Amino acid sequence: MSYTTAAVVALLLLAGNAFFVAAEFALISARRTQLEPRAERGSRAAKVTLRALERVSLMMAGAQLGITLCSIGLGAVAKPAVADALTEPLALVGLPTSAVDPIAYAVSLAIVVFLHMVFGEMVPKNISLTLPERASLILGPPLYALVWLLRPVIWTLNQSANLVLRLLRVPIRDEVATVFTRDEVAGLIDESRRHGLIDDPERDLLTGALDFVEVRAADVAVPLAQLVTVTSDATPRQLEQLSATTGYSRFPVTGADGELRGYVHVKDMVVLPERRMDVPVRPHLIRALHTVHCDDSLRDVLGTMQRRGAHVVKVLDQDREATVGLAMMEDVLEELVGQVAA
């Protein structure tokens, strides 16, 4: 093989190695959330790349096969060619004949390894890690096509690897993970704050959203003994005065037996005509108290409030028989966004 032919073949093998390395890291680093909108808009490259992400184990097997073949081929073609090219110059400088071949081989090995590591491995890897979505859209489809063409060979290799993993009791994953645990998201939030990507209020809001599902209805319920209640015969004027005194806008209503019957909102009183201000509040102005369980998450409590259009809900005990307190909309929202005005 002439030096020119060997150089061309070596460059092609080096480019092939770079392609497989870049494709491998692009598929590992790409996020489905970035590719799915493109696929929904009709991008064929995005659709094929998403299919590749769903078969990442096969894609990695195909990439590794390509890297291995290109590396072996590069060593087989480039090192002898470079060594032959160096033999004559080394002989001309007066080196002993017995030393020319070993030195030429060592120098050729160093040159090929350098080119392979830099241009065949490190550069394509870092490009894919820096631009994962763009790289995956460009490299994912051709890798997917190559894997499809060589699927019998790649399937055999992949199944062999899976067999070894099963023997080692290592879980097999065929799809790139695209979700994060709560602790991982919390870590990302803290890291973003340290790098100045979000400010303290944004960090607190995001952290509150994570903690929101951990807090239970019982944690925010106001105990019955601490409630400011009114009886069913209270008048609108009395409610206005009580609101001015306490600063509250909603008051639980108790019946003759002391049980909670509902709650009234002061804003419903201020629109009443003067003639009705000193007569007991009419029943239709007493809002229903919907119930939640003491172990319900605040997300579920807020969902109940939204569905029912309620600002106050009754929190029941473990047996769903006795009332342990009331949960107010403000208290629920404060767990999410911080202090809110009543």
306 contacts 298 by C-beta, under 8 angstroms: no
Please give the average per-residue pLDDT across 2-9, as a whole number: 80
Class of CATH domain 217-337 = alpha beta
CA separation for the pair 148, 143 (Å, rounded): 9
CA-nearest of 231, 251, 227 to 240 is: 251
289 contacts 314 by C-beta, under 8 angstroms: yes
pTM for the full predicted model: 0.59
Using one digit for the tens of pLDDT, what is the confidence trace for 293-322? 988 888 888 889 889 888 899 999 888 888
The pLDDT value given to residue 45: 93
CA separation for the pair 308, 52 (Å, rounded): 45
CA-nearest of 147, 161, 179, 214 to 33 is: 179
Using one digit for the tens of pLDDT, what is the confidence trace for 136-152? 999 999 999 999 999 88
Using one digit for the tens of pLDDT, what is the confidence trace for 137-191? 999 999 999 999 998 898 898 888 889 988 988 887 765 555 566 676 777 778 8
CA-nearest of 291, 282, 285, 284 to 320 is: 291
Sheet of strand 323-328: strand arrangement: 222-223, 323-328, 312-316, 290-293
Beta bridge partners of 231: 254
